[in-house]
Structure 1
Amino acid sequence: MKIKKILALVLAIMLVTSFVVGCSSTPKEEPKKDAPQEAPKSTYPERAIEMVVPFGAGGGSDIMARSMVKVVNDNKWVSQPINVVNKPGGSGSIGYAYTAEKKGNPYYLASVSSSFYTAPLLGNSPVSYKDFTPVAGLAMDTLALFVKEDSEITSVKQIIEKSKATPKSISVGGTSGTSDDAVMYRVLQDKAGIEMKYVPFESGGEVMTALLGGHVDVVWANPGEALSQVEAGKARAIAVASKERIPGFDNVPTLIEEGVQASLAQFRGVVLPKDAPPEAVKYWEDVFKKLHESSAWQNDYIKANSITPRFLGSEEFGKAIVELSDMYAEIFKQIGATK
């Protein structure tokens, strides 16, 4: 009897134990994972942006920057104001150095013109394209050779003949010793075997004023810089530096047509300081893509200034910048400006 009671107790304990073990072996529900959180939306830009123009008012860089800012502000594509700030001097080096000093700061844009490449190559700038972040390429802009309306000069051939007869008798106005106009001044001298006199000014506006005042004989300028003077009957173009004739100047021959085997066009664009945040680069790339596609930009800037539209995003523009720097280096080497 006593043995039966002990067996019954053991069986009871075994049943309870198996029940407990069975319950404890039931798989536990894993805690629910929180849904992945969305990345916080960028609040950039949070303050006003400076659009730095490394030249004075009235020149090609200034015209592009102000045209660009007007279209962007009018369409309210940017939540903060963009202010154009002219920083002339040193063949563009002052403005570019000012922007490059803002390393990593996405609130300083700078317009790109030929001096962006040429000044460093000629040793006239403490910074180079490597100190910037490419944002977008916007347009190809060429040059034309202008004279005062009542000038006796009517062709490039006449300039060549006069310069060969009397070296340095023709004065040429330009914006700096490293700008495209200075490059074309050097190229024309080299290709034609002549000597002229170069007179630099702070901006394209000053250059045109000097031409109309009779202080220089001819000027290399972007079509947009001289268009109003041409339309007013105060100046006229005698040649263009593009490979083909350009809209608005259909009756003006190219240098090649005039017997000088040379052509040149500059790629206008925009950069940020080096190490600018990727989100800021993408932000502006998108803004400038909208700009390129807008009718206001195409009509009021591109067509109005006889410019060729061409958009390149950040990566492509970065590659183009390197290629253009190499191109200018080769030109300078050919004409003896550098070793």
Structure 2
Amino acid sequence: MAQSPWRPTERINYIVGVAPGGTVDLYARGIKAALEQLQLTNHQPVVIENKVGAGGALALQQLKTNAGNAHDLGTFHTGAIAGAVTGLIRADPRDFTPVAMMVEETSLVAVRADSALKNASELVAALKADPTALRIAVAPALGQNTHMAISQPLKAAGVAIDKLTIAPFRSSGESITALLGGHVDVVSATAPVIMPQVKAGKLRVLASAAAQPGTGALAGIKTWREQGVAADYVSYNGVMLAPGVNAEQIRFWEDALRRVSQDKTWQAMVEQSGNRPIFRGYVESHRYLMSEWQAATELATSLGLKGAR
């Protein structure tokens, strides 16, 4: 690990803007465990604090309150960028310091196993004929990453995405329940939520929004690109710091999180969840934040979301 003059000298607060149980919380706890097990925090404990509310804005506000304090960690997530662009989250991720991207998340489009839809081409054909014909479940709100993940390829395929019938649910778990119950026809969600139902024979995946063909549990699932639609949508999960931290503090956490990304236990946990462990440091994370802000703004405008900015 590269030497840095700055080291934590007090408890590290890991502020997570969702309730325990989902993948965002799962990965934060995995990072905490690896930081402590690998002794990367100068013998300081890492404490998870689930600050739930306002679509994640309360967690960001708490992080912002402690500007310049590198003893506070927060979650860097694509969903927060999309939510801020559309006005769902009343906070601006660009005010913060993204220090590392740790997980590449795959979004899938699925239907019930008994659905007449067999692949992405049939879904596109149905929605081109009538964009309102199918109820599509997303979570936790319009304009979040699961909404964007199906809208991006459908737009590229020529579907009038501003006319789609989108049903937002509070969680992807609720989206799946609604799909299984016949209340919606299609769901867009991340792989860890969908794949258990696929293995149980209850759901069928029509397409993956990943840029590359999947491996492991996702082997054999065709991407949109493999089915003739030139689009993908990849979400990222990682770690951000408060505004106003300095270069030494960024360097310390970048080095520590790089070590976490190389840990076999961490890698196995992410892969078991259906996603891919990666590492992108501060420079790449910042570039991604700015480019994704622009891309999300353009897509949200196409969707007719009023908060797009």
User: Which TM class, normalised by the smaller chain length?
Assistant: 0.7 to 0.9
- Over 3 Å counting, the alpha-carbon distance change for 1:313 and 1:256 in structure 2 is closer
- Deviation (angstroms), 1:165: 4.8
Q: How does 1:41-52 map to 2 (within 5 A)?
A: 44-47=8-11, 49-52=12-15
Q: Is residue 270 from structure 1 mapped to residue 233 from structure 2 by the alignment?
A: no
- Deviation (angstroms), 1:166: 4.8
AA of the residue aligned to 1:68: I
Asked whether the 8 Å contact 1:53–1:62 carries over to 2, the reply is yes
Q: Secondary structure at the match of 2:225?
A: coil
AA of the residue aligned to 1:327: A
Question: Distance between the aligned counterparts of 1:150 and 1:97, measured in 2?
Answer: 45
Question: Distance between the aligned counterparts of 1:161 and 1:43, measured in 2?
Answer: 57
Q: How does 1:163-174 map to 2 (within 5 A)?
A: 163-174=127-138
- Bigger Cα displacement from structure 2, 182-191 vs 108-117: 182-191
TM-score by length of structure 1 reads 0.75
State the match for 2:23 in structure 1: 60
- Deviation (angstroms), 1:89: 4.3
Q: Deviations over 1:45-100 (max 9, x none)?
A: 412x3323333444432332233223333444332333333344444334333322
Q: Is residue 104 from structure 1 mapped to residue 68 from structure 2 by the alignment?
A: yes
Match of 1:142 among 103, 106, 122: 106
- Over 3 Å counting, the alpha-carbon distance change for 1:336 and 1:206 in structure 2 is closer
AA of the residue aligned to 1:114: T
- Bigger Cα displacement from structure 2, 266-275 vs 322-331: 322-331
Question: Distance between the aligned counterparts of 2:33 and 2:196, measured in 1?
Answer: 19
Asked whether the 8 Å contact 1:118–1:179 carries over to 2, the reply is yes
Question: Distance between the aligned counterparts of 2:191 and 2:135, measured in 1?
Answer: 20
Match of 1:311 among 272, 276, 279: 279
Question: Distance between the aligned counterparts of 2:184 and 2:65, measured in 1?
Answer: 36
Match of 1:131 among 95, 99, 104: 95
State the match for 1:77 in structure 2: 40
Q: How does 1:243-322 map to 2 (within 5 A)?
A: 243-247=211-215, 248-301=217-270, 303-322=271-290
Q: Deviations over 1:7-62 (max 9, x none)?
A: xxxxxxxxxxxxxxxxxxxxxxxxxxxxxxxxxx7662412x33233334444323
Q: Deviations over 1:188-219 (max 9, x none)?
A: 45334244322223333333333334333222
Question: Distance between the aligned counterparts of 2:133 and 2:114, measured in 1?
Answer: 18
State the match for 1:178 in structure 2: 143
- Deviation (angstroms), 1:263: 0.9
State the match for 2:184 in structure 1: 216
Question: Distance between the aligned counterparts of 1:171 and 1:56, measured in 2?
Answer: 27
Gaps in structure 1 of 5+ consecutive residues: 1-40
Gaps in structure 2 of 5+ consecutive residues: none
AA of the residue aligned to 1:142: T
Q: How does 1:25-36 map to 2 (within 5 A)?
A: none
AA of the residue aligned to 1:134: P
- Over 3 Å counting, the alpha-carbon distance change for 1:193 and 1:317 in structure 2 is closer
Q: Secondary structure at the match of 2:213?
A: coil
Q: Is residue 236 from structure 1 mapped to residue 204 from structure 2 by the alignment?
A: yes
Question: Distance between the aligned counterparts of 2:170 and 2:290, measured in 1?
Answer: 26
Asked whether the 8 Å contact 2:118–2:206 carries over to 1, the reply is yes
Q: Deviations over 1:198-247 (max 9, x none)?
A: 22233333333333343332221221233333333333322101233211
- Bigger Cα displacement from structure 2, 258-267 vs 72-81: 72-81
Root-mean-square deviation over aligned CA pairs: 2.8
Question: Distance between the aligned counterparts of 1:167 and 1:42, measured in 2?
Answer: 55
* Larger radius of gyration between Structure 1 and Structure 2: 1
Question: Distance between the aligned counterparts of 1:214 and 1:66, measured in 2?
Answer: 34
- Bigger Cα displacement from structure 2, 100-109 vs 285-294: 100-109
- Alignment length, in residue pairs? 297
State the match for 1:154 in structure 2: 118
Question: Distance between the aligned counterparts of 1:314 and 1:188, measured in 2?
Answer: 29
Q: Is residue 225 from structure 1 mapped to residue 193 from structure 2 by the alignment?
A: yes
- Deviation (angstroms), 1:182: 1.1
Match of 1:193 among 159, 180, 199: 159
